[in-house]
Amino acid sequence: MTILSDKPTRLRVTAAVLLIAVLAGAVALMRGNPAQSSEAAPAKVAAADPAKPAAVPAKAANPAAPAAAQAPAVATLGAVQVDRDELVRQLQAMPPEARAQLQGNRAGLDQWLRSRLAEKALVEQARAQGWQDKPELKRAFQAAQERIVLQTYLDSVSRAPDGYPADADLQAAYERAKPQLAQPAMYRVSQIFLPAALGDNDAVASARKQALDLVKRAQAPKADFAALAKTYSQDTTTRAQGGDIGYVPLAQLTPEMRPAIEQLKAGEVSAPVQSAAGFHILKVVDLRAASVTPFEQVKEELRAALRSQRQELAARAYLEGLLNAGTVSIDGAALNAAFEQSASAAQAQPALAARAP
């Protein structure tokens, strides 16, 4: 059992934690200003004209206007705080069920707020020490920023139109997917199991005799199969439930059972079925015929799959368009030099580690 302590936890300042905190802020910022959807072809990048001066950003309409008031704090730790807007963004990103559970779990919510305050305090401490100015972190920040910009921008220019797919497209996709949407016949099976290992002739003879007697009793009018299973079945996993195995397709039954089950109608009891483990007396309690998942049940899943497929194809075409818009040149000598440099650096690391105190 894991017990969460309310005492402050000793935190280690690591580059990984700082990077996560900064990236979380970047993602939150982008969520506040989502990219607009567009399916236009890649825009041509105009070459800079040295004769023309760079555009000067327009001045603010009212430089003296005060900054927007900060949202009230929900939790504070010294100079750091979690304000209401940040909490609202976090809650809105949750599924409704998780949000409702968290609302009723004050201890869990308090723990999240404490953790968030600790993260913010850690970031401020690291910034005060100039941690963000480390060369390796700057490279990591740049790489992360490029990945975020690339993915979000590519998503915006390749997003499928709002009206896609049309109802006809959904219906066609459903027809193509029917083989995968087929549901096999499901049998609700109960059993009485009598163990008798193959090769033990005496045990097999005794179990067969008992099984034949139980079949007669189970097939009698108004017989209580569940009561017989609770009394005589030696299958510890189903005996307490009156031998009920539940709904299963034929494929999940043993090969010896399948022919007997296929021949039974709902409510009928089989003759003894012998397997390597013993004898099984089977009853089909209920039968669900084979079917195909209805269109309405998978409609939204199909819509999401078609939109995702359309966007993936559009993104690939967009990237290919960028490559085809110019001439790609690869310097083989520089490429080889980069591999040699990386190999030399890898070889030098063990030696440096060995000389370290």
- The label of the residue with tokens 């097999």 reads 204
Cis before 95 (ω within 30): no
Contact between 250 and 233 under an 8 Å Cβ cutoff? The reply is no
Q: Is the pTM of this model over 0.85?
A: no
* Structure confidence at residue 352 (pLDDT): 53
Dist. CA 303–CA 86, nearest whole Å = 32
What is the residue whose two structure tokens read 């195995």?
245
Rounded to an integer, what distance in angstroms lies between the CA atom of residue 140 and that of residue 65? 36
For 332, what's the count of Cα atoms within 13 Å in the CB-facing half-sphere?
A: 0
Consecutive H or E run containing 324: helix 295-324
Q: What is the pLDDT of residue 51?
A: 37
The pLDDT value recorded for residue 15 is 36
Q: How far is CA 92 from the centre of its chain?
A: 19
168: Cα separation from own chain's centroid: 29
Distance in angstroms (rounded) separating the CA atoms of residues 287 and 184: 11
CB neighbours of residue 299 within 10 Å: 15
Residue 257: name the closest of 242, 275, 269 by CA. 275
CATH level 2 (architecture), domain 182-290: Roll (3.10)
Identity of the amino acid at 203: A
From CA 156, how far away is CA 151, in angstroms rounded? 9
Residue whose pair of structure tokens reads 């979000």 in the numeric block: 152
| Rg, the chain, Cα only | 34
Q: Per-residue pLDDT for the chain (357 aa), expressed as one digit of tens each?
A: 222 333 333 333 333 333 333 333 333 333 333 333 334 444 443 333 433 333 333 444 444 445 556 789 999 999 899 999 999 998 899 898 888 888 889 898 899 899 999 999 999 999 999 999 999 999 999 999 999 999 999 999 999 999 999 999 999 999 999 999 999 999 999 999 999 998 899 999 999 999 999 999 999 999 999 999 999 999 999 999 999 999 999 999 999 999 999 999 999 999 999 999 999 999 999 999 999 999 999 999 999 999 999 999 999 999 999 999 888 899 999 999 999 888 888 887 665 555 555
283, β-bridge pairs: 190, 269
Q: What is the DSSP string of 57-119?
A: PPPPS-TTPPPPPPPPEEEEETTEEEEHHHHHHHHHTS-HHHHHHHHT-HHHHHHHHHHHHHH
CA angle 238, 244, 246 (to 5 degrees): 115
Domain boundaries, the chain: 71-133, 142-181+293-322, 182-290
Tokens 């609700």 appear where?
188
User: In the prediction, which pLDDT does 104 show?
Assistant: 87
| DSSP character at residue 313 | H
Per-residue pLDDT tens digits for 78-127: 989 999 999 999 889 989 888 888 888 989 889 989 999 999 999 999 99
- The residues facing 279 across adjacent strands are 194, 274
